[in-house]
Amino acid sequence: MIKTRFTEMFGIKHPIVQGGMQWVGRAELASAVSNAGGLGILTGLTQPTPEALTAEIARCRTMTSQPFGVNLTILPTLKPVPYMEYIDAIIASGVKIVETAGNNPKPFLPKLKEAGVKVIHKCTSVRHGVRAEKEGVDAISMDGFECAGHPGEDDVPNLVLLPAAADVIKIPMLASGGFADARGLVAALALGCDGINMGTRFMATKEAPIHQNVKDKIVDSDERSTALIFRTLRNTSRVYGNSIARKAIEMEHEGKGIAEIGPIVSGQKGKVVYETGDLEHGVWSAGTCMGLINDVPTCKELIERIVSEAEQMINARLARMVA
Chain residues binding ligand NAD by CB under 6 A are 19-22, 43, 45, 71, 73, 75-78, 101, 149-150, 230, 233, 235, 237, 258, 265-267, 270, 285
In the complex, least distance from residue 81 CB atom to ligand NAD, rounded to whole angstroms: 7
Pick 96 or 150: Cβ nearer ligand NAD: 150
Residue 81: left (phi > 0), alpha (psi -120 to 50), or beta? beta
Shortest Å distance, C-beta 170 to ligand NAD? 26
Closest to ligand NAD by CB, 8 vs 250, is: 250
CB 167: neighbour CB atoms within 10 A?
9
Give min distance, CB of 233 to ligand NAD, in A. 4
Q: Specify the residue, 166 or 261, whose C-beta has the smaller distance to ligand NAD.
A: 261
Q: How far apart are CA 180 and CA 166, in angstroms?
A: 21
Helix 258-265 × helix 243-253 angle, to 10°: 180
The Cα 262–Cα 250 span in angstroms is 13
Least CB distance from residue 100 to ligand NAD, whole Å? 10
Q: Other C-beta atoms within 10 Å of 25: how many?
A: 31
3-state secondary structure of 41: strand
| Cβ 184 to ligand NAD shortest distance, Å | 18
Minimum CB separation from ligand NAD for residue 40, in Å?
14
**Nearer to ligand NAD by C-beta: 11 or 263?**
263
Distance in angstroms (rounded) separating the CA atoms of residues 203 and 250 = 28
Question: Which CB, 237 or 288, lies closer to ligand NAD?
Answer: 237
- Classify burial at 200, counting beta carbons within 10 Å of its beta carbon; exposed 0-12, middle 13-18, buried 19 or more: buried
Nearer residue to ligand NAD within complex by CB, 101 or 117: 101
Name the residue whose CB lies closest to ligand NAD.
267
Cβ atoms of 151 and 143 within 8 Å: the answer is yes
